[in-house]
Amino acid sequence: MRINRIAAKKLQTEPKEVDLSLIDSLIKKYKGKNGNLIPILQGIQAIYRYLPESALRKISDETGHKLSDIYGVATFYAQFRLNPVGKNIIKVCHGTACHVQDAKNITTALKEHLKIEDGQTTPDGLFTLESVACLGCCSLAPVMMIGDDTFGKLSGKSAVKVIRDIKKKENN
């Protein structure tokens, strides 16, 4: 059930000051338009990469959407995040084709390597691990996507190697 997502995504205290002036133009663009809530939230997430609580409160104050409605929509759709994410989001595909080709081995190997659970972010803020459904390259299954790069025909080992390479680059 989609409501399950609420418990897992409790609003936590915000990491640092959120610059709310960034969303002014967004509010101006959509204010008063029918069906604007999802585009506004998508816009906020495009700016901060997640939905900061203070931004949601501001939207509620300025557009008249009830905070509870905003929260309802934000928790209904898989795209929206209520917590900050790591620099690199690892999306491991668990679509049907990838499942048949043992995608769970990829997630297990990455969980072990990064020492985090699915959906969590590493303490250094470098990686967030996520499961997604079908990235649309089923013929390359099992697949994962990091940023705009897609990696196919993976094994647990090769997936971990990709992560190691990124870490190396980040540390240089």
Give residues in contact with ligand FES (CB under 6 A). Answer: 93, 95-98, 134-138, 141, 143
94: closest CA among 128, 138, 127, 126?
A: 138
Residue of 11, 22, 67, 133 that binds another protein (CB under 8 A): 133
Residue bearing tokens 């931004």: 55
Q: Which listed residue (60, 120, 122, 150) binds another protein by CB under 8 A? A: 150
Show contacts with another protein in window 20-79 (CB under 8 A). Answer: 34-39, 41-42, 72-73, 76-79
Smallest gap from Cβ 165 to another protein, in A, equals 16
The answer to whether the beta carbons of residues 62 and 32 sit under 8 Å apart is no
Coil, helix or strand at residue 163: helix
Instruction: Please give the Cα distance from 10 to 36 (Å, whole number).
Output: 24
Using the minimum distance from each CB to another protein, give the nearer residue, 124 or 130. Answer: 130
Least separation in angstroms between residue 19's CB and another protein is 24
Cβ count near 74 (within 10 Å)? 23
CB closer to ligand FES, 28 vs 153? 153
For residue 127, the cross-strand partners are: 88
Helices (H), 64-155: 67-76, 96-100, 103-114
Q: How far is the CB of 12 from another protein (least distance, A)?
A: 21
Q: Return d(Cα 26, Cα 39) in angstroms, integer.
A: 9
CB-CB neighbours of 62 under 10 Å: 13
Q: Which one of ligand FES, another protein, none interacts with residue 43, CB within 5 to 8 A by kind?
A: none
Rounded least distance, CB 36 to another protein, Å: 6
Binding site for another protein (CB under 8 A): 1-4, 34-39, 41-42, 72-73, 76-80, 94-101, 105, 108-109, 132-141, 143, 150, 152, 156-157
